[in-house]
Amino acid sequence: MAHPRSALLNVMTAAAQKAARRMVRDFGEVENLQVSKKGPADFVSIADKKAESTLVKELKKARPDYGFVLEEGADIQGKDSSNTWIIDPLDGTTNFLHGIPHFAISIALVRDGEPFAGVVYNPATDEMFWGEKGQGAFLNGRRLRVSSRSAMPECLFATGIPFFGKKKAGDRYLERIDAVASLSSGIRRFGSAALDLAYVAAARYDGYWESDLQPWDIAAGIVLVREAGGFVSDIHGKRKMLETGSVIAATDKMHAPLMKLIQ
């Protein structure tokens, strides 16, 4: 039986589906897309901007007083200061531009500074992940639970690798990959933080870590992992993911061992 969604989640999933329709068409003719270069390896496509304006329009219509934190546009102050949408219209732009069907629309509602509800939608696979504080996490109506694997050699982890122009001196990401890879069943780098977190919630990965992220990359996914019974912290074990831009998300069993390896 499909689980009934709250009014809030209905608003969020409907907005995601509306923005996705055009995105799927654009994805189908990705080689014709005009691409502007924002910076080294940081592309922003027209599809990105179109999706964002659709999302803003739909969410504003439903909740006129909520503010917005946006990846592409300027932030919008809302009359209701305790509720803010945090939106990534296209997480996995590089995949999208290369015709790889692994990208997502990510919508989070942050209430009084805490991620409260999240939707992560991959239009290419029609996988809609959603979660709301205290209500559980779901994939297309099916209840999600994080994986129950408890031995490191059986576990599969995901991470992000800083791309050209982003890598800083002193980055320890290769050491971290080495440490985790040598003890686990493998590491994946799929190029969408929002989907990495959704996959932890769906028990596809046993854990995920990354640094140098933006709030819109992770806010929705944090809700999904927590609601599926997992743990999320920043790289230092604190709850400051949105401030620090670092995240370790894992099952209740693997969070501590993964954090130890990464530190």
In tens, the pLDDT along 162-209 reads: 765 555 545 677 788 778 877 787 888 999 999 999 999 999 999 998
pLDDT digits (tens, 9 = 90+) for 115-168: 999 999 999 999 999 999 999 999 999 999 999 999 998 999 999 877 655 555
Task: For residue 163, give Cα distances in angstroms to 5, 40, 106.
Answer: 37, 9, 21
User: Is the pLDDT assigned to residue 44 strictly greater than 70?
Assistant: no
Sign of the Cα torsion 203, 246, 27, 59 reads positive
d(Cα 204, Cα 167) in Å, to the nearest integer?
28
Q: Which pLDDT does position 40 carry in this prediction?
A: 38
d(Cα 7, Cα 248) in Å, to the nearest integer?
30
**Residue whose token pair is 């997502």:** 104
Determine whether 61 is exposed, middle or buried from the number of CB atoms within 10 Å of its CB (0-12, 13-18, 19+).
exposed
Q: Which pLDDT does position 28 carry in this prediction?
A: 82
User: Please, what are the domains in the chain?
Assistant: 7-143 (3.30.540.10), 152-262 (3.40.190.80)
Give the strand order in the sheet containing 80-91: 66-70, 80-91, 104-111, 114-122, 127-132, 136-139, 142-143
Identify which of 25, 228, 45 has the alpha carbon closest to the alpha carbon of residue 120.
228
Retrieve residue 156's tokens: 């599969």
Retrieve residue 216's tokens: 């819109």
Q: Which pLDDT does position 1 carry in this prediction?
A: 52
pLDDT digits (tens, 9 = 90+) for 207-257: 998 999 999 999 999 999 999 999 999 999 999 999 999 999 999 999 999
Question: 97: which residues sit within 8 A by CB, 6+ positions away?
Answer: 30, 33, 35, 43, 45
- Give 3-state DSSP helix, strand, coil % of the chain, rounded to 5: 35, 30, 35
User: Is the pLDDT assigned to residue 41 strictly greater than 50?
Assistant: no
Question: 169: which residues sit within 8 A by CB, 6+ positions away?
Answer: none
Q: Which pLDDT does position 42 carry in this prediction?
A: 47
Query: With a threshold of 0.85, does the pTM exceed it?
Result: yes
Supply the DSSP string of 193-240, one letter for each residue. HHHHHHHHHTTS-SEEEESS--HHHHHHHHHHHHHTT-EEE-TTSSS-
